[in-house]
Amino acid sequence: MIETIYATLAKIGYHHPLHPPLTHLPVGLISGAFVFAFVAWLFRRPNLGQSARHCIILALIAVPPTVVLGFMDWQHRLGGAELFPVMMKLILAGILLVLLIAAINFGRRAKPHSIGLVAVYGLCLLIVVGSGYFGGELVYGGKAPKGEETEGLAEEGAMVFNQNCAACHFSDRTDTKVGPGMKGIFARDKFPVSGWPASEESFRKQLKTPYARMPAFAHLPEEKVAALSAYLKTL
């Protein structure tokens, strides 16, 4: 079902993950709620407190679809691998939902410009920032390549690797993270898990139709695959 959705989107030219564009809704609304509530408290303006409340209600509506799309991206791009940042994001999403519902209930009884509301909305904002941090960890968490070792195509490949592969593969070690470490991957005779010959052909086969548990990367355009291959050969 999930794969059909991504396949359909790919047909109309959309290859991006779905979660990042939508995250801006809850992030913006919760930041807005906090700022409105803070100014309402500072200048004793109950009407601004009302604006904060409206933002937080809209945020509660925006969070569930954002979580669902995040879950879909996780299944599609990371094969549902149980990575630490993903687990943290799931836990934070649960806490955020409970906190938003509590904030809305609390807001029914509290004065719209009370300091209590500033605190609760501030807590929601902290959770959102935390979730964004772990999202960044997933996308940019890989180690930055060392300048002199990688040039041109390989340097671009290092970026592609960090965004797509580093969540599951070490680049500077041979031991397993989720999949085998990529250090010297092309320098040996065989790939470690599949036992396929360590060749360009096997590498491309692994990306299109992986040996076992790795998610497929058939959507990666040729330039990126070439860059990745150039980079992995430098390791």
Least distance between ligand HEC and beta carbon 146 (Å): 19
Q: Which residues contact 218 (CB under 8 A, 6 or more apart)?
A: 207, 208, 209
* Closest of 126, 149, 115 to residue 30, by C-alpha: 126
CA–CA dist 151, 161 (Å, integer): 14
Least distance between ligand HEC and beta carbon 163 (Å): 9
Interface residues toward ligand HEC, by CB under 6 A = 78-79, 81, 164-165, 167-169, 178-180, 185, 191-194, 196, 203, 206, 210-215, 217, 228
CA–CA dist 202, 182 (Å, integer): 14
CA–CA dist 166, 202 (Å, integer): 19
Least distance between ligand HEC and beta carbon 190 (Å): 8
Least distance between ligand HEC and beta carbon 207 (Å): 6
Least distance between ligand HEC and beta carbon 181 (Å): 10
Least distance between ligand HEC and beta carbon 93 (Å): 20
Least distance between ligand HEC and beta carbon 199 (Å): 11
Closest chain position to ligand HEC (CB) = 179
How many residues can be counted in the chain? 235
CA–CA dist 21, 135 (Å, integer): 13
CA–CA dist 214, 164 (Å, integer): 12
Q: Looking at beta carbons only, is 31 or 194 nearer to ligand HEC?
A: 194
How many CA atoms lie within 13 Å of 205's alpha carbon, on the beta-carbon side?
12
Q: Looking at beta carbons only, is 81 or 226 nearer to ligand HEC?
A: 81
Q: Looking at beta carbons only, is 50 or 202 nearer to ligand HEC?
A: 202
Q: Looking at beta carbons only, is 12 or 212 nearer to ligand HEC?
A: 212
Q: Looking at beta carbons only, is 141 or 192 nearer to ligand HEC?
A: 192
CA–CA dist 77, 17 (Å, integer): 8
Query: What CA–CA distances, in Å, run from 229 to 25, 108, 144, 181, 191?
Result: 37, 58, 17, 15, 14
Q: Looking at beta carbons only, is 8 or 176 nearer to ligand HEC?
A: 176
Q: Which residues contact 90 (CB under 8 A, 6 or more apart)?
A: none
Q: Looking at beta carbons only, is 106 or 186 nearer to ligand HEC?
A: 186
